[in-house]
């Protein structure tokens, strides 16, 4: 499933537009000229989403800030740090927004060889934390509405584990860009 599809499904679940009748996808110009109420169309190449609120009329989906959605599933290359000592906080991955625009951080996913605490921060300010367990060593932080970061802002994922030995960890930062925002 593409990041655009995931974002669409998230939008429909969190902000329902009605009873979904049909999802189509392809090029913008190929969308049905006569949509039915609650049809959804994903213009993959144009990175746009349309939905039908009135039979026969497409409405382009925009975010709550008026910008057009241009999602990027992973905004930073996954980071990986091996042999982290216990009881010390270490940065696994860092991302600096140098896109010239506004991004929304939607969360991060961390994984380690042991349970640990993951901290997601922007410019040193914590925006989310999670503790993984021995049963599920994935640490997932989800920011439902996204956290706005401006050009030059720095996003980090840090990890701390509380064992008397070293462990290995990985993390990825997720977000998307809004054009015109």
> In this predicted model, what pLDDT tens digit does every residue of 84-116 receive, in sequence order?
899 999 999 999 988 877 888 888 889 999 999
List the chain domain ranges: 3-61, 71-179
**Contact indicator for 119, 108 with CB cutoff of 8 Å:** no
Q: Is 101 exposed, middle or buried (0-12, 13-18, 19+ CB in 10 A)?
A: middle
pLDDT band at 18; cut points 50, 70, 90: low
Q: Is the dihedral of CA 83, 85, 86, 89 positive or negative?
A: negative
The answer to whether residue 146 scores a pLDDT higher than 50 is yes
State residue 69's pLDDT score.
39
Q: Domain 71-179, what fold?
A: Jelly Rolls (2.60.120)
CB proximity list for 99: less than 8 A, separation 6 or greater: 151, 177
């Amino acid at each position: 499933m593409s990041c655009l599809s995931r974002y669409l499904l998230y939008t429909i679940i969190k902000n329902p537009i009605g009873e979904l009748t049909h999802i189509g996808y392809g090029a913008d110009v190929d969308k049905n000229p006569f949509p039915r109420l609650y049809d959804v169309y994903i213009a993959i190449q144009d990175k746009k989403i349309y939905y039908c609120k009135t039979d026969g009329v497409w409405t382009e989906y925009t975010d709550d800030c008026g910008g057009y959605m241009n999602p990027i599933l992973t905004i930073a290359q996954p980071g990986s740090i091996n042999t982290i000592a216990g009881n010390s906080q270490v940065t696994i991955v860092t991302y600096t927004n140098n896109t010239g625009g506004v991004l929304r951080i939607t969360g991060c996913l961390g994984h380690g060889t042991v349970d640990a605490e993951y901290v997601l921060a922007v410019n040193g300010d914590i925006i989310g934390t999670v503790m993984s367990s021995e049963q599920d060593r994935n640490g997932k932080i989800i920011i439902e509405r996204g956290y706005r970061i401006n050009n030059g802002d720095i996003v980090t994922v840090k990890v701390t584990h509380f064992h008397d030995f070293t462990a290995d960890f990985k993390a990825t930062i997720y977000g998307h860009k809004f054009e015109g925002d």
